[in-house]
Structure 1
Amino acid sequence: MNGQARVRGRKIVLWRHGQTAWNLERRFQGSTDIPLTETGIAQARRSARLLAALRPDAIVSSDLKRAAATADELVSITGLEVRHHEALRETYAGVWQGLTGDEIQEKYGEQYAAWKRGEPVRRGGGELETEVADRAAPVVLAAADALPDGGTLVVASHGGAIRVTIGRLLGLAPHTWESLGGLSNCCWSVLGEGARGWRLMEHNAGTLPEPVLGDDD
């Protein structure tokens, strides 16, 4: 191998859960256990059919209802078992949870502004983003390490938890993680294994990937 690490060609698909009532009301959910709406179930069903075409080898999920129910739609197609992990839950945000964005800015405007500037903030007295990455990223990496060469892992989780996990796996500085845009309900991001580690192949995708045709693949 000429001293170079072997690239195993694995992929990680980080899949956000379907729609909830609190999503529609634009309420900060955090670790509150909110179920999917009927629309959310339909979204999960549709996206599961697409992700099944990637022939995943393993599925892990947050244990919160909205993520677990989303993962179950892929389980029903693939027959794979899903492993649920508390560590893949959304950020705990204390008193912010249950509030709308407008209410958060009205009551905790300075804290909100500091967070948006990329400062380490315990939103609502809850977790730091780096603490979420500390718990979520190792679960994802352990599951990816167990994949066969060329294998695919699907991770059913939450928008904020996915963002910080991507940031950690890509080796980005925490204050830059906000530069990764949000995920729509039941959309996903794909990390592929390259010669220099994990790299972002797709972000906020809702269709199957097309091959990259060009010099910069």
Structure 2
Amino acid sequence: MNEGETRTLLLMRHGPTQWNLEHRYNSRTDISLVLGESPNLAMHASVIKKFDVKRIISSPAKRAVETANFVREVQEFLPNRCNVWPELHEVDFGNFEGNTKIELKKSDLAPQYENWMNSDKTAAIPPSGESWDSVLSRINATFQRVQSLDENLILVSHGYFIRCLVSFAVGVRPSKGVRMISTENYGLFRLKFSAGSKPKLASPLIV
């Protein structure tokens, strides 16, 4: 990439799973998309094509890979394969996995859950879950790989991790940003990046 040139990085959250519909925390449990559900790709087509995306990269989770494959099949200009990056997996919710907010607030995990929901002040992590330092390490690794490719990309990942990426791009701690930013299934953010600088938010949620 020449000095002054910029590239586009689109961030897409995967499509809905049954746990998403039930508002359950889902990180390491490998659940497929809801049968019969498919992205409204017509809505995304003009956006993705506008930015001349050259590569699609996915979290290794089924729900992300399946979403990436939907996009690949519709967008003929995308490569015939999806690259998978392990660092794009969801933030690990530990023992909160599979529970809803209401269930956690009524469970024995309620004190730990309350601390984690205020983790920007407490630095708390879920029991057996992922630390914010670990998340930050994955963010840095992701953006380093993005810059090394020097092309317009779309990353298909997960709600919390996408919010962490966007938080980093706007200079907000991930532990704070995840409470401030939201994204729906199939939602898109657009970042821009150039050589030697971290990605910046080019537009908020655009679809």
Range into which the TM-score falls when normalised by the shorter chain:
0.7 to 0.9
Q: 2:72 is aligned with what amino acid?
A: V
Taking only the aligned residue pairs, the percentage that are identical comes to 24
- Give the total of aligned pairs: 198
Corresponding residue of 1:130: 133
Corresponding residue of 1:52: 48
- 8 Å contact kept, 1:47–1:187: no
The answer for unaligned runs of 5 or more in structure 2 is none
Corresponding residue of 1:160: 160
Q: Which runs of 4+ in 1 moved over 4 A?
A: 194-197
Partner of 1:12, secondary structure, is strand
Does 1:28 find its partner at 2:29?
no
Residues 63 and 179 of structure 1: CA distance in aligned 2, closer, same or farther (over 3 Å): same
Does 1:144 find its partner at 2:147?
yes
Q: 2:103 is aligned with what amino acid?
A: E
Q: Deviations over 1:116-153 (max 9, x none)?
A: 22132221321023312312441343133312xxx421
- Aligned equivalents of 1:68 and 1:39: distance in 2? 16
TM-score for both structures, normalised by structure 2: 0.83
RMSD: 2.4
Q: 1:109 is aligned with what amino acid?
A: A
The answer for unaligned runs of 5 or more in structure 1 is 207-217
Residue correspondence of structure 1 range 89-100 to structure 2 within 5 A: 89-100=89-100
Tell me how far 1:40 sits from its aligned partner. Answer: 3.8
Corresponding residue of 1:213: none
Tell me how far 1:7 sits from its aligned partner. Answer: 2.6
Does 1:86 find its partner at 2:86?
yes
- Aligned equivalents of 1:28 and 1:179: distance in 2? 15
Residues 92 and 175 of structure 1: CA distance in aligned 2, closer, same or farther (over 3 Å): closer
Corresponding residue of 1:183: 183
- Aligned equivalents of 2:94 and 2:35: distance in 1? 28
Residues 25 and 179 of structure 1: CA distance in aligned 2, closer, same or farther (over 3 Å): closer
Does 1:199 find its partner at 2:196?
no
Does 1:69 find its partner at 2:66?
yes
- Aligned equivalents of 2:15 and 2:70: distance in 1? 11
Q: 1:186 is aligned with what amino acid?
A: Y
- Aligned equivalents of 2:44 and 2:36: distance in 1? 14
- Aligned equivalents of 1:204 and 1:93: distance in 2? 24
Partner of 1:176, secondary structure, is helix
- 8 Å contact kept, 2:116–2:124: yes
- Residue in structure 2 matching 1:13, options 10, 19, 33: 10
- 8 Å contact kept, 1:71–1:156: yes
